[in-house]
Structure 1
């Protein structure tokens, strides 16, 4: 044989070439195996695979609200995979999966020789599920012209080690938990939740086929963007399943005829359910995690460690709250814009727009370049395609940055918080009209004047200090020492000047003049202490105007301060996180309701206040709940409107649900054009009204909608048994005699009058 080789040089050179190529291949493979092209994971490392996992935020019933992640991944166990899901994967991606040991050697050699000798980058083929798993976990690196070969060999080595460590079922589990799907989604559970709003275990045959079909090219076969392509690819998967005997011909025909139906749920940070709530949860959980360490002594990472955050949020109630707020705000926005017409401040007030423009990042970045204001304005007046929010849908328009700022200035915003008053458990949290475009949370971050929603604290303090419901106060205007003269909406008719109102009637009609007189009679400091004892933590100004809600509070703070009215006088702090767990279900932190130990008002006065606020709904400023929205639920409440119609408020109280809504412009210099639109009964109350309407239609909310306040006792009835109004007697009308409250006495001191100054009447002072 050797002699033949010596006699035939071509054969000799051919053999040398083959041996050289073989030696080169062995050397090349060895260089990869021993890490010359990058260290490969050892068997020990592969036994403890760790992947970035999304942290889940769950509602009270366990439904997924949203996630925090770098990669949207949610691992699940093999038992969660329906049989048809596994069969679809094997039939489409690796028909011999249970027969081979993770590597198709013939295909691998084909890739090697075609890629090196023929420079054919499309040689492909032969990629098993195990090889794909290796690629999913460790990715691919750029090694130049040899890249595909080096990566293929690396994956083959890793795949071989994986097959030695894990069973076939475990490899399927790892694969499904790491494989990338469309829309930056990793793992089958995240994909199932995103595209079909159901868990992996609930996927039917056609849904499983859609997701498996997506694996060939996740963007190209994205069912959200390209539904027809996705459907055709689904049918290919189903055909493969028929080919390998996983489904029958009849099943194939029946399933192929079905339309592609998605129930898409975005769990991005800006979209999806309760984005303002999720952002607040993220902030709070991050603070908690800063105090904790895992078993390796490192801090937990909310974006990578696959934690589970359990909250008190009522998933269905949150959905309805967002619907109610958006429906009302879309209609209110039209009223708001129409009322101003061409005289709108966002169109005519250049300084207002300029101030807003200076707050933008675009202005600040240009200012860093030392440009003059005129130069900055010129650049920001340049038009370009911009995505703009509107209730009719997001549109792209050719506008300047200045135009965009003016556009957003016109929008009213809103905040709503609903809690269980007995423990403060948050049921719904809507911080604004759209988190994508308005990041500022009007539940937790914003503080605005609360208007007449502060009056119940004044009346509570009055009752606690001994003033009775059946005490009467005059609605006549009084000018106080600082020259301030509060008035009622619409003023007081001349014929009504001698009509006095009891506390219930004055509160239900939200009479400003009487609220201030009640405050003065009670004492400003007593009212402030009462409000603080009920949960107000912000500084309250010691001035008469506080009775009309000139203090600025957040929606959260006001909500907490109202809980004593339905919680036996105890204040419940708003709480929304119940516990934080690691991915294995181990509890990292738990949280309990925070409820005050001591009642801030007597039980009798609490019941009196509820009856007075029920009158607000039944016959006072909140009667729209009965007339317009047709609500027959047990409801107490209070409307609120601030100076110059800047803010509208409503507090809705039921025995088991307390909701506070606020509506106004983000820029406090822009108010409603008139009281008809801006009053709390028109701007804020409808959100609560619409929410209750929706809840009444669903028996699941009977806990809230059918709850009843305790029957009114004989004692309470007797304490309220008086005429709502009382007319001054003849002599008082003629001479002004009779009992004066402190406010009116102050007024008389200011007006000591003409006769005393003229004749020097009255007691002389000691000097």
Structure 2
């Protein structure tokens, strides 16, 4: 308080003197007045300097910028999966940069670099004089340029006095913090060179296909010459300007004694030779996963006061590096084989032509046409021109017909994600086909229908007739699911075999009895929690798009005896010194499906691998372990799926194209059993051989311990006893259930197409794709006697009559079969609620 009072007294004493100076200006010209003016100016300068020091990066920030360490995503076994970098840059020490690069830089940008402390006063004054005379000149030193490169937001690039002052102060701080060689090293590693090439090392690879230590004088001069204006002197687009600028740099090197006159005369006549190739970022083993985690990690780092790009964080994951590597190899191998099929199919004569309506539509949707229209050309003229441009059509075909693959694997016992491959090549296909892509799952969705039925009390040994099915959709329309071109066998088929052989007719009947809403609820509880599901009858055959991640997680619920475990990737985050900052525990399991029903469903899916549509797992890949799985194929063979379960690993793959209008144009290769199954089969075979999973592990049946489960077991035993006495609910004759009529053999692919491993061991059972809703036709007139669903010796359920649509009588009477209304109950069975818990 005394100090404050003292300051107030002094200020009060100064006021009369200041007032006197203002009233008598001649006092300013006195020695006393000039002294006061000098003090005031010095105080003002000091205040401005302090403000600049506070508004510019601190010395600690500058030192930290040079030592930026990107966060690393690491597998469970310590392998590097990806790095989170600001830009595509590879830092190299000054000793690994060609001396000609340093000579060219200093000679051209700052020849007194070793003689100043960040500011070249002579150059600055010369630049001011020339700029005032109308010839705008830059006077920045290498250190000042580095300040702008390191802190573009804090300093800016506007040609203002404030910006120049900030730049100068920051340059002084840099000189205080770094040695001259460190400044050169930092500058050359941070300067941009276009095409996402940052730093001299990536620039050397981009423009000359060599490392920075191998650059010669001409190449060094070309790259340093770009620094005056990377776009204007771009050697790829503006080679003449780039060569002229290169020669200017050579002239400066001669002037500063870094190049003798004879060499200069020879070199300046040399042509500009560029070996341009864009450099992809070092992606690591799991770049798609890293991209999916990026936002979550940035939010975490922001909350905790860390930088994902600079603080050297280590993110530990559940990924098994060995399994991830096997998955990458399998995706590459199968993708290459299927690409040959696609290339041959779409390059066939008369397919990719200007007359093809699909090609015309793709041209109209292309970015090239949009750019032409934006430039003033009419859409019709641009489309007509592009349709006659053979080179453009070839590029468009290559882009649109590139085969895409996604793969994911997890541990069903914990939910830990073990492998994640989002596409064949992250540089070409950065779109993630595991979590970001939603595609129709086809028959891989059928287990939800059977799971709902088993939860409602149905048994895998219950039978339904393999017969033609009609399901009213309202509005006078019906849906007639078919199993390809093969006619129904008109024989009873167990539910277990209906799933194993992927019979659409059986699944559609079961869906109508259980009800779409119950199936949706079960799918939600089991893991399909993000994609919208439309509760319609056709959902039974997988018409609602879902992600591969959701489907693999849901199959993990089946493998886990009905317990859903949310997929987990991150286990803990450490700082650069190894100190654990946070750990992440797996989510608690949720009982989504009863243990008994889940085990019945799993056992039924064993049949798909043992003798159904996934039999190639046994015959072609020789996998004898206890596994169960399901194939999936959508309309026109657009999407191929396969998911395989083992007690320690559940893995799934999707194969298709980014554009759903593009297919493999092959009834053989387009099926999930031939497109997606080899990806999973190869990974499992190698994982078993490498003992990444135990071939001796088997699924263990559990017993439900609740009173409800015991009552259900007793009811099931009584029900089976009644069936043994009076027959099962389809009225089949005594004796074994006949096998379904096999589908006609698939013709072998053409000799030029790549054949699958052990082609003679192809599975005999092929899967029919779903019938699309677009092909739903008005329901034909009913036969005189409405068909019935026979449920037992003494009971029958009469089909609901159709609405009168006035449709003409078909030329041929429809095949008598089953007509089921959606949600029609199974006699004597009450479907419980399956809302997610």
Scaled by the length of structure 1, what TM-score is found?
A: 0.62
Q: Does 1:68 align with 2:68?
A: no
Residue 732 of structure 2 corresponds to residue 728 of structure 1: yes
SS in 1 for 2:668: helix
CA distance in 2, matches of 1:380, 1:288: 48
Q: In structure 2, what is the equivalent of residue 284 of structure 1?
A: 296
1:8 aligns to what? none
1:559 matched to 2:574? The reply is: no
Structure 1 residues 40-55: aligned runs within 5 Å: 45-46=58-59, 49-51=63-65, 53-55=68-70
The aligned counterpart of 2:71 is 56
User: In terms of mean alpha carbon deviation, does 414-423 or 302-311 score higher?
Assistant: 302-311
**Structure 1 stretch 675-684 or stretch 221-230: which is displaced more?**
221-230
* Residue 628 in structure 1 maps to residue 624 in structure 2: no
Among candidates 318, 325, 329, match of residue 324 of structure 2 = 318
| 2:373 corresponds to | 367
1:363 alignment partner, SS class: helix
Task: Please report how far the alpha carbon of residue 289 of structure 1 lies from its aligned counterpart in structure 2 after TM superposition.
Answer: 4.5
1:483 aligns with 2:487: no
Question: Is this contact kept in 2: 1:57–1:311, CA < 8 A?
Answer: no
Please give the alpha-carbon distance, in whole angstroms, between the structure 1 residues aligned to 2:337 and 2:191: 33
2:709 is matched with which residue? Answer: none
> 1:333 maps to which residue?
339
- Decide whether the 8 Å contact of 1:418 with 1:657 is kept in 2: yes
Partner SS for 1:552: coil
Q: Distance in 2 between matches of 1:349 and 1:287?
A: 51
- The C-alpha deviation readout for 1:1-26, integer Å capped at 9, x for no partner, is xxxxxxxxxxxxxxxxxxxxxxxxxx
Following superposition, the deviation at residue 301 of structure 1 comes to: 4.9
Whole-angstrom distance in 2 between the partners of 1:744 and 1:622: 36
CA shift in 2, pair 1:726/1:218, >3 Å: closer
Map of 1:663 onto structure 2? 655
Give 1:737 deviation, angstroms.
9.6
- 1:517 equivalent in alignment to 2:509: yes
Q: Which residue of 1 aligns with 2:565?
A: 572
The DSSP-based 3-state class of the residue aligned with 2:655 is strand
Q: Deviations over 1:302-322 (max 9, x none)?
A: 445544333322222222111
Residue 582 of structure 1: how far off its partner (Å): 5.1
Alpha-carbon distance in 1 for matches of 2:567, 2:422? 15
Where in structure 1 are there 5+ consecutive unaligned residues? 1-34, 76-80, 94-104, 117-130, 143-152, 164-170, 186-193, 195-213, 234-265, 295-299, 384-397, 755-767
* CA pair 228-743 structure 1, distance change in 2 beyond 3 A: farther
| Equivalent of residue 706 in structure 1, options 675, 680, 695 | 695
Q: Deviation per CA, 1:135-160, whole angstroms, max 9, x where unpaired?
A: 98898999xxxxxxxxxx99998798
The answer for the alignment partner of 1:261 in structure 2 is: none
SS of the residue corresponding to residue 564 of structure 2 reads coil
| 8 Å CA contact retained: 2:633, 2:672 | yes
The C-alpha deviation readout for 1:234-262, integer Å capped at 9, x for no partner, is xxxxxxxxxxxxxxxxxxxxxxxxxxxxx
Deviation at 1:693, TM superposition (A): 2.5
Q: CA deviation at 1:634?
A: 2.3
Larger mean Cα displacement after TM superposition, 561-570 or 330-339:
330-339
Alpha-carbon distance between aligned partners in 2 of 1:646 and 1:416, rounded to the nearest angstrom: 17
* Match among 451, 457, 462 for residue 453 of structure 2: 462
**In structure 2, C-alpha distance between the alignment counterparts of 1:707 and 1:176, rounded to whole Å:** 60
What is the Cα deviation at residue 726 of structure 1?
Answer: 9.6
Residue 474 to residue 106, structure 1, CA distance change in 2 (3 Å): closer
Q: Which runs of 5+ in 2 are unaligned?
A: 1-47, 101-111, 124-140, 158-167, 218-277, 705-712, 739-786, 803-812, 817-837
Conserved in 2, the CA contact under 8 Å of 1:276 and 1:430?
A: yes
Query: Quick one: distance in 2 between partners of 1:479 and 1:301?
Result: 60
Cα deviation digits, residues 254-284 of structure 1 (max 9, x gap): xxxxxxxxxxxx9954744322222212233
CA distance in 1: counterparts of 2:69 and 2:470, whole angstroms: 61
Deviations 1:47-77 (A, max 9, x none): 56220624323222332222222356899xx
**Structure 1 contact 346–409 (Cα < 8 Å) conserved:** no
Q: CA deviation at 1:183?
A: 11
Instruction: Tell me the secondary structure at the aligned position of residue 678 of structure 1.
Output: coil
**8 Å Cα contact 1:634-1:654 kept in structure 2:** yes
Cross-structure match for 2:420: 429
Q: Say whether the 8 Å CA contact 1:336–1:677 is kept in structure 2.
A: no
Q: Which residue of 1 aligns with 2:522?
A: 530
Residue in structure 1 matched with residue 165 of structure 2 by the alignment: none
Q: Do 1:134 and 1:158's aligned partners in 2 also have CA atoms closer than 8 Å?
A: no
Is this contact kept in 2: 1:515–1:547, CA < 8 A? yes
Aligned length: 585
Matches of 2:114 and 2:788, distance apart in 1: 108
Counterpart CA distance in 2 for 1:743 and 1:288 is 63
**SS at the partner of 2:430?**
coil
RMSD: 5.6
Give 1:386's aligned residue: none
In the alignment, the residues of structure 1 paired with residue 675 and residue 207 of structure 2 have an alpha-carbon distance, to the nearest angstrom, of 40
SS at match of 2:453: helix
Q: Distance in 1 between matches of 2:685 and 2:815?
A: 57
| Partner residue in 2 for 1:206 | none
For the structure 1 residues 343 and 419, does the alpha-carbon distance in structure 2 shift closer, same or farther, using more than 3 Å as the test? farther
Corresponding residue for 1:407? 398
Cα separation, 1, equivalents of 2:362 and 2:380: 16
CA separation of 1:651/1:367 partners in 2, compared to 1, >3 Å: closer, same or farther?
same
Where 1:653 maps in the other structure, the secondary structure is: strand
Cα displacement (A) at 1:178: 5.2
Whole-Å separation in 2 of the counterparts to 1:71 and 1:740: 71
In structure 1, distance between residues paired with 2:793 and 2:728 = 18
* Deviation of 1:331 (Å): 1.0
Note if contact 1:223-1:230 (Cα within 8 Å) is conserved in structure 2. Answer: no
| Contact in 2 for aligned 1:457/1:531 (Cα 8 Å) | yes
Q: In the TM superposition, what is the alpha-carbon distance from 1:380 to its structure 2 partner?
A: 5.0
What secondary structure sits across from 1:541 in the alignment? coil
Q: Which residue of 2 aligns with 1:448?
A: 439
CA drift at 1:635: 1.5
Q: Matched residues in 1 for 2:670 and 2:620: separation?
A: 17
Are the aligned partners of 2:637 and 2:667 in contact in 1 as well (CA < 8 Å)?
Answer: yes
| 2:643–2:652 CA contact under 8 A, matched in 1 | yes
In structure 2, distance between residues paired with 1:346 and 1:665: 16
